[in-house]
Amino acid sequence: MRSKMMGCREEHQSTHGSVLGGKPNHCVIYPPKSSIVAEELERRNNDWFVRTKVASDLKVQVGDFSFYLHKLAMVSKSGYLNRLVFAKRSEGHGQNGGNVKIVLDDLPGGTNTFESIVNFCYGFKVDVTATTIAPLYCAANFLEMSDDLHQGNLISKTEAFLSFAIFSSWKDTFKVLKSCESVSPWSKDLLIVKQCSDAIAWKASTDPKAFTLGQNSNGNLNIGEPSDTWWFQDVSTLRIDHFIQVIESIKRKGVKPELVGSCIAHWTAKWFSSTTFVFDDPTIPKHLTEKLQRITIESLINMLPVEKNSVSCNFLLYLVKLGLKMQVNFELLSKLETRIASMLEQCCAQDLLVKNYGDKDTTYDVGIVIRVVNAYVLLAMKNSRARLCIVGRLIDGYLTLIARDINLKLIDFKLLVDALPTNARSCDNNLYRAIDMYLKAHPSLMEEERASVCKAMEYHRLSEDARQHAMRNSRLPLKIVTEFMLLEQVKMARSISATKSNINPRTTTQTIMKMNNKKCLEKGFIAPQKEIMLIRKEVENMKMQLNQLQMCKLKLQKQVQRSSIK
């Protein structure tokens, strides 16, 4: 029936694939007979003329082009043109044989669309595709070409093929939606965008076809890409306002929040350059680019699914980076940072890696991690120590990943080390490893700077192997090495006192501490290298004495056992 009414010829396509290739569905609209017999519409430079025996009495200006037409043919099918012509005649225009002039600067679709409308009004067939149908439908509504004026008018004819193009083919749905970009807000008001969005959502939520997308390298966006993400590629071609509409429709269809979050991440990676964070749309004037970026990022944050684990921590950090770059709403950014902070206990160190791309920047953006950790501290003040230690291990692991960066400033490294409370670490081995790596990558640091980095590291939270390594580590400041050696001696003295009861523990400890404290105080805790070597020898001697005492203790125990048996 549709073919009889419209004279449509369709070339059916597969329901999947990129929107960039293939022939669209095609339709030929055969209009009702015109009241004026015309041979053809021809163009001469920027002027269009209808070849007919009747002289033109209507001039319509559309952009830079002029159409010399006939009032009878045009006003019989357009209520809008009918009112304009009537108004012009009331003002005295065209009464002396001159043309009535009408300007249509805001016609949806512009010159190309109006050419099709003229063909329709004069009884010529009109070729339409999925790419051209939306502008033509909007223009028909703009000109009020309804069946009330003429049966089988352009609105009803275009509406039939528009519905078919939207719902019959996945590819054509995107072609229609992309063509709506040039006819906003008409396409929105006429619900074309909504129909396309609902069609995409319905197909994305029900079609089982799947394909695997490529994987990302470490440090880039960690976008979840399960097997049912075949629709991501085409959805990521949409402009932000249309993308928002599609995501809202997809949410209403009950698509899994994890898929929605991954789709938003995929769109973001597609539209924002990873090197300069410039909105990748050459059609936008430069003076509007920054404002559009800010609005876009705020829209992305607002449309994120609220469900737990629906969006990766890495992508949220990426949004924070973009938000800081574009100076988005402060409250919105704080809310996003708080959301990331609540996820830290389930993250791994690699999730915190968001790359920088400037020559003088650090490899990874440390500033956004500092902001999130600070937000976590405010959020987790009442958390148990066990939960705090999980985040402590996470941050120490992250520090080991970034410590070798020669561009990493001391203040940033130290801010991250000191961001967590002291009870967030039960073991400082990873922290010591990160500090050692940082000192090795930054050999020009002053003694005081190295000491400030090491301040958070505590002797009693290091394993025995880590302590021994630290006391032999020439990269650590002498003050820290001396302190560790003194504490080692105190520890050994207490062990000796506990093992050999006839040695006065107070006398032994005081003797060792007085001897070493005197040396250290005289030098202001900056002992020369020779004294450090002497202290190391003393530590070794104390170890030998402790071993001998332990052997003696074992012998005495055996003798006591033999005596009791006798």
226 by DSSP, 3-state: which?
coil
Token pair for residue 240? 């932000």
Question: 52 is written with which tokens?
Answer: 């007919």
Distance in angstroms (rounded) separating the CA atoms of residues 257 and 247? 11
Instruction: Please state at what angle helix 385-402 crosses helix 410-418, rounded to 10 degrees.
Output: 160
Nearest alpha-carbon partner for 73 in 161, 170, 149, 159: 149
User: What pLDDT sits at residue 11?
Assistant: 39
| Adjacent-strand bridge partners of 62 | 65
Residue 163, amino acid: S
Domain residue limits, the chain: 26-90+97-190, 194-206+231-285
pLDDT of residue 390: 93
- CA distances 154 to 123, 278, 280, 337, Å, are 11, 42, 37, 52
pLDDT of residue 19: 31
pLDDT for res 284: 62
- Tell me how far CA of residue 51 lies from CA of 30, 38, 48, in angstroms: 19, 6, 10
**6's tokens:** 């419209």
**Of 305, 298, 311, 232, residue with least CA distance to 267:** 232
| Segments in 253-366 forming alpha helices (H) | 257-271, 286-303, 313-326, 330-341
Task: Give, in degrees to the nearest 5, the angle at Cα 562 between 561 and 566.
Answer: 120
The Cα–Cα gap between 69 and 77 comes to 13
Kindly report the backbone phi and psi dihedral angles of residue 31, in degrees, each rounded to the nearest multiple of 5, phi listed first: -80, 165
d(CA 425, CA 422) in angstroms, rounded, equals 6
- Rounded Cα gap, residues 457 and 419, in angstroms: 13
What are the C-alpha distances in Å from 122 to residues 44, 141, 436? 19, 18, 84
Which pLDDT does position 535 carry in this prediction?
Answer: 67
pLDDT value at residue 206 = 80
Taking a C-beta distance cutoff of 8 angstroms, is the pair 128, 116 a contact? Answer: yes
User: What whole-number distance in Å separates Cα of residue 509 and Cα of residue 511?
Assistant: 5
Q: 3-state class of 272 per DSSP?
A: strand
CB 301 within 8 A of CB 319: yes
546 contact partners, CB below 8 Å, separation of at least 6:
492, 495, 496, 499
The number of residues in the chain equals: 566
Alpha-carbon distance of 245 to 248, in angstroms, equals 5
Single out the residue of 142, 86, 149 nearest to residue 114, CA to CA. 142
Q: Are strands 58-62 and 65-69 parallel, antiparallel or unpaired?
A: antiparallel
pTM, whole model, 2 decimals?
0.75
Q: Are 77 and 154 in contact (CB under 8 A)?
A: yes
Tokens 């999130």 found at:
372
Asked if 219 and 353 touch (Cβ cutoff 8 Å), the reply is yes
Helix ranges restricted to H, 367-428: 367-379, 385-402, 410-418
Residue 209 three-state SS: coil
CATH architecture for segment(s) 26-90+97-190: 2-Layer Sandwich (3.30)
Q: Which residue from 187, 209, 192, 306 is spatially nearest to 251, judged by alpha carbons?
A: 306
CA 95, CA 222: separation in Å to the nearest integer? 71
Phi, psi angles (nearest 5°) of residue 28:
-115, 120
Answer yes or no: are the C-beta atoms of 176 and 196 closer than 8 Å.
Answer: yes
Residue 210 is predicted with a pLDDT of 35
Tell me the three state secondary structure of residue 191: coil
Specify the residue for token string 């679709």: 109
HSE-CB for 258 with a 13 A CA cutoff: 8
Q: What is the pLDDT along the chain (566 residues), one digit of tens a residue?
A: 333 334 444 433 333 333 333 345 788 888 887 777 788 889 999 999 988 888 888 999 999 999 999 999 999 999 999 999 988 877 765 555 568 899 998 999 999 999 999 999 999 999 999 999 999 999 999 999 999 998 999 999 999 999 999 988 899 999 999 999 999 899 999 999 999 999 999 988 885 443 333 334 344 444 444 457 788 989 999 999 999 999 999 999 999 999 999 999 999 988 886 655 555 556 666 667 788 889 999 999 999 999 988 999 999 999 999 999 888 999 999 999 999 999 999 999 999 999 987 767 889 999 999 999 999 998 887 778 888 899 999 999 999 999 999 999 999 999 999 998 888 888 999 999 999 999 999 999 999 999 999 988 888 888 889 888 888 888 988 888 888 888 877 777 776 666 654 445 455 545 555 555 544 444 444 445 666 676 667 767 777 766 776 677 677 666 656 655 55
Could you say which DSSP state residue 215 is in? P
SS3 assignment for 408-475 = CCHHHHHHHHHCCCHHHCCCCHHHHHHHHHHHHHCCCCCHHHHHHHHCCCCHHHCCHHHHHHHHCCCC
Name every residue whose Cβ is closer than 8 Å to that of residue 513 and which is 6 or more positions away in sequence: 486, 490
Per the listing, tokens 């009791």 go with 564
